[in-house]
Structure 1
Amino acid sequence: MSEAGNSVAGDGEAGVGGAGVGGAAGLADRAAQWRASASRYALLPLRLFLGVTFVYAALDKLSDAHYLAGAADPASFVSQTQAAKGGSPISFLLGAALDAPTLFALAVAFGELAVGLGTLLGLWGRVAALGGAMINLSLWLSISWSVSPYYLGNDLGYLMAWTPLLLAGTPDLSVDGYLARRAGRDRGRGLGEDRVRRRALVDGGIAAVAIGGAGLLTGSLTRTFGRAKHSAPKQSAAPATTPAPSGPAPSVAAASVPVGGSAQVKDPATGDAVYIVQPKAGQYCGLSAVCTHSGCAVDAPKNGQLYCPCHGSRFDAATGAVVNGPAVKPLPKYTVTQAGDKLNLGPLQS
């Protein structure tokens, strides 16, 4: 009885131990499966981000009344391209774009839309990634080329982000993945390789035409109705007036603004930062610290220029004129008067 009891107890202990080993093995298997799934879908967040961003960028351009407005509008494709041309290493290509600006502007917008949709749906993923990389390469070599330091130029970051998708494609949760799995089933049924490839190419082409048609329709509708909405004049009950300054005019000590230096104050009407500068001895003026390109804050004057860290625009510290794009409009200028040892910010000149 004692030996039998020991045997039963031993079996029970072995069973408990086996269950423990089996449970640990199951956890290890599930962890391995989770890691495999995570690795398989590791590029999905990047793919979604790039796809959504490019679709949004395309529709934003097509709905913007300024984008195709022409050289008279500083926010148009023509003005931005002209501003970037002087300092770009691909100025010869930008010159060709300026010869047919409407065609090139629409090609950029609809190209972004095609890239975005192809990336989101996973249709010809490597081709879409190549298109996205080429778009961002051209933007880096034009709009972002003068940005310093280089890592502030977002187009270079986007260019690098396309590289993993260019190498790996879009094999999962995609049209490409579906066509590849169907091709595998066709091979298993004994279909010849030429027929399998032809079927995949034809069906991929049909999907591309369908998605492209939907994209063109969406883009055209966005351009028609979006631009009309954005360009419609806003009606107001009373004419707009410039806010009146409140309180005394901002002032700084004259000694705090050496020749070539600056001091910062705020426009009492808008709250925007303004640099009071002395480009030459006894010559004072105020320059808005808000970049006219996209509203970023420009750095304080240095070496006779004000630099915008967002996209690389540079402005003359004496006049506010554009030295380097993509900005095309000068910084707004203020009068500055001296009263004893004080410098007082005056009204906006331009």
Structure 2
Amino acid sequence: MEGDAMMEGTRDAAEPADFGAQPAATGPASPGGAGRAARAAQRRAFAGRYALLPLRLFLGATYGYAGLYKLADSHYLAGAGDPQSFYAQSLAAKAHSPVGWALAPALHQPTFFGLLIAFGELAVGLGTLFGLWGRIAALGGAVLSLTLFLTVSFNISPYFLGNDLPYLMAWTALVLAGTPYLSVDGFLAGRAERDRRRGLDEEAVRRRTVLDGSIAAVALGGAGLLVGSLTATFVRRKPKAGTAAPSAAKPVGGGGPKASVAVADVPVGGSATVADPGSGDAVYIVQPRTGQYCGFSAICTHAGCTVNPPKNGQFSCPCHGSAFDAATGAVITGPAVKPLPKYTVTKDGDRLDLGPLQS
């Protein structure tokens, strides 16, 4: 059955060469007219055969790069102490997602699920680029896109500003079409047809195709695992200077818990990260100008992603590109329309204490 499924993903239904052409005119046709019609039919057939190739290359390269990008990012698997980590992003999405309950396993085992997603994206990308078990690879891409849509992009309004739903539709096209041309699938299918014409038994053809496809999958998967591991080991980017992990809430005097950081941890133009004692959300304490301290929620007001620490006077959201002023929290670039919530920050000796939410 597995062999049937794979072979089904590599064969196209036969179509007449003049599919989509206008009915031929009655009466004798000139040799020149017949030649032009034949060449036009060939061009249409060529275009139809490779129509999805640009989409396939784009999706394969994008998902392969996305997997390597995650493995190279030191923040991705940093855990609860880093607002840019997989854990922090999942926790932020949980409150806004219609399937937030399904994120509980990922929050309990963030390293396992983070690696699963990164290597899953890499496997989908490689399988799509090389056209190996193309429908299965495309189905994996569709599942990943659907997961991101339900967790990250579901509440984006209007819906077309989110990018995960278009990716889902693009993967659906490859699930339906497979990767029959310029691909390992196409090579195996072509060889199987030649074996049939030579009179080879159908069961032997199927067995040979499944075996060689499995060998190719193991080889490609091993290469992807090696590249991903080397990327995680040697290319992993170091955290940028000027950021600090969230500090624990500390009791001050006889009052309730307060979040506090050292003044030295907040350079001009940089930030330190604390946790809101009430909600647990990450908050950036920043010093946009010398001696001016304020705090901003790290949760993007667009879809609930965690914005990056300030750079060049801006907070940027990695999910959909919104940008906020690091001195005021105001929206600079959409799709977000609301500013980041602002907190008061008071200086107490060599410490900065997070105050109440202002807006």
What secondary structure sits across from 1:143 in the alignment? helix
The structure-2 alpha-carbon separation of the partners of 1:47 and 1:90, relative to structure 1 and needing over 3 Å to count, comes to same
2:238 to 226, 230, 233: 230
Partner of 1:297: 323
Which residue does the alignment assign to 1:280?
Answer: none
Aligned counterparts, 1:196-345, within 5 A = 196-227=205-236, 229-231=237-239, 242=268, 290-294=314-318, 296-297=322-323, 309-310=334-335, 319-320=341-342
1:96-150 CA deviation, whole Å, 9 max, x = no partner? 1111100000000000000000000000000000000000000000011121111
1:213 shift after superposition: 0.2
The aligned amino acid for 2:100 is S
Paired amino acid for 2:342: G
In structure 2, relative to structure 1, the CA distance for the partners of 1:307 and 1:103 (3 Å cut) is farther
Aligned counterpart, 1:147: 156
Residue 137 of structure 1, aligned match among 146, 150, 159: 146
What is the one-letter code of the residue matched to 2:135?
A: R
Q: Distance in 1 between matches of 2:34 and 2:188?
A: 36
Partner SS, residue 141 of structure 1 = helix
Q: Which residue of structure 2 aligns with residue 161 of structure 1? A: 170
Q: Compute the TM-score of the two structures, normalised by the length of structure 2.
A: 0.64
Stretches of structure 1 that go unaligned for 5 or more consecutive residues are: 1-19, 235-239, 244-266, 270-287, 300-304, 322-332, 336-348
**Structure with a larger share of its residues in helix:** 1
| Structure showing greater Rg | 1
User: How far off is 1:24 after superposition?
Assistant: 2.5
Contact 2:324 2:339 in 1 (8 A): no
CA deviations 1:206-231 (Å, max 9, x no partner) are: 0000000000000000001111x434
Structure 2 residue runs of 5 or longer lacking an equivalent are 1-28, 243-265, 270-287, 291-309, 347-357
Q: CA RMSD in A?
A: 3.2
Deviates more, 1:73-82 or 1:20-29: 20-29
The whole-number CA distance in structure 1 between the counterparts of 2:241 and 2:91 is 28
Task: Say yes or no: does 1:57 pair with 2:81.
Answer: no
Q: How does 1:72-87 map to 2 (within 5 A)?
A: 72-87=81-96
Distance 1:233 1:320 in 2: 23
Determine what percentage of the aligned residue pairs are the same residue: 58
Aligned partner of 2:32 in structure 1 is 23
Aligned residues of 1:290 and 1:296 also touching (Cα < 8 A): no
Matches of 1:290 and 1:53, distance apart in 2? 26
Which residue identity does 1:197 align to in structure 2?
Answer: R
